[in-house]
Structure 1
């Protein structure tokens, strides 16, 4: 019996990401956590959903890039307040 709750397919990963997407006005920390979590999830899916391996890797890279952009914005905001 499989008790894993992590997505096993690219479609399930997209659904999971959509279901936990922060509100548009959420703070940057929430968005950073969202993108980092998605990057890890898509990377894991790439290892199990072999039919969508390359597409899942694309999404892992995309989410890593978005996390980097949000991290840069967070750092800029922190330096403004110091």
Structure 2
């Protein structure tokens, strides 16, 4: 069950994600943290907002994939610096 500070609906989750979205030019590590937190949030919402279960799971997977892209970008930058 969601706590009072966690979203209870997919709409609330989207609003939270937009509110905490980093600046476009933010450090990739900030974006990675953002994407990972969103994935966890959408997974929790999938269990609470059963009417949007599959859509919330889609968004959780989307955020995991985007986090993977950011992580790969970070790894690419780190390997070039070595």
Q: TM-score, normalised by structure 1?
A: 0.96
**1:18 maps to what in 2?**
18
Paired positions, count: 81
Query: How large is the Cα RMSD of the aligned pairs?
Result: 1.2
TM alignment of 1:39-50, pairs within 5 A: 39-50=39-50
**1:68 maps to what in 2?**
68
Structure 1: segments with no counterpart, 5+ residues: none
User: Matched residues in 2 for 1:73 and 1:33: separation?
Assistant: 14
Structure 2: segments with no counterpart, 5+ residues: none
**1:80 maps to what in 2?**
80
Moved over 4 A (4+): none
Cα distance, 1:4 vs structure 2:
2.0
User: Matched residues in 1 for 2:15 and 2:28: separation?
Assistant: 22
